[in-house]
Amino acid sequence: MKKLFLASSFAGTASLLPEFAGGNLAGKRAVFIPTASSHEMSDQEREILTFVNSADKEALQKLGLVVEDLEISIKPYEVIEKSISNADCILVGGGSTFFLLQELKRNGVDKLISQHIKKSKLYIGSSAGSLLMQKNIVADGMDAPNIGSELNGDFSALGFIDFYLYVHYGSHYWGDDDERFNEYYAKLDCKKLSDKQAVTIDDERIEIVTAP
């Protein structure tokens, strides 16, 4: 049993979460993992990602959730394990998917998160956090693989979905979206998600939902 809410932008789709999660979320506990945005980057990139992650975190809080920041690249494993175990849901934010994957694998948090997903804990992905659920991460130019240099070319991810995601479709953050999609994803089973869309997976039931 798995319960996944995979968005391009959680802030853009947060209004859809309560219905998927089964009702009122007030008082529930969430861990927010911003690790994908914790690598070295330019000041401009830092400003953008700080805004995006703040928006995702605030969206959780507006739904009534009690949110704990959990930076897995610096926290001891015992602290990470306790925080995730005590939470009702996990939100993994955006940034570099390769750096996120590297840090998860480096300290075994990839396996910890997988264990909790298998126990039906609600997992929420925003951008990189959503791509993490694929079988592997596609080096499509959106994100530099060398940011996760310790991966040594092993881009295998958590593998909870058997399709791929093209996030931020229509936003043109990386140029022509259709051109990039055709180059890297046309031969793959891939779902395009705008910043107002999410894929919800409730066990084997898969649906694309769109926020108003």
The one catalytic residue in 37, 130, 168, 194 is 168
127 in catalytic set: yes
Residue numbers of the domain that contains 97: 3-210
18-55: pLDDT as tens digits: 999 999 999 999 999 999 998 887 888 888 888 999 99
| CATH number, domain with residue 134 | 3.40.50.880
The residue from 127, 149, 156, 171 that is catalytic is 127
Q: What is the pLDDT of residues 158-210, one digit of tens each?
A: 999 999 999 999 987 778 899 999 999 999 999 999 999 999 999 989 999 99
Active site residue 168: yes
Q: How many domains does the chain have?
A: 1
- CB neighbour class for 179 (10 Å; exposed up to 12, middle 13-18, buried from 19): exposed
Structure tokens at 72: 């897995």
Q: Flag whether the pTM goes above 0.85.
A: yes
Residue type, 161: I
Model pLDDT, residue 121: 98
Average confidence (pLDDT) over 65-73: 96
Distances in whole angstroms, Cα of residue 55 to Cα of each of 76, 205, 208 = 26, 28, 22
d(CA 180, CA 4): 26
What is the rounded CA–CA span in Å between residue 15 and residue 12?
8
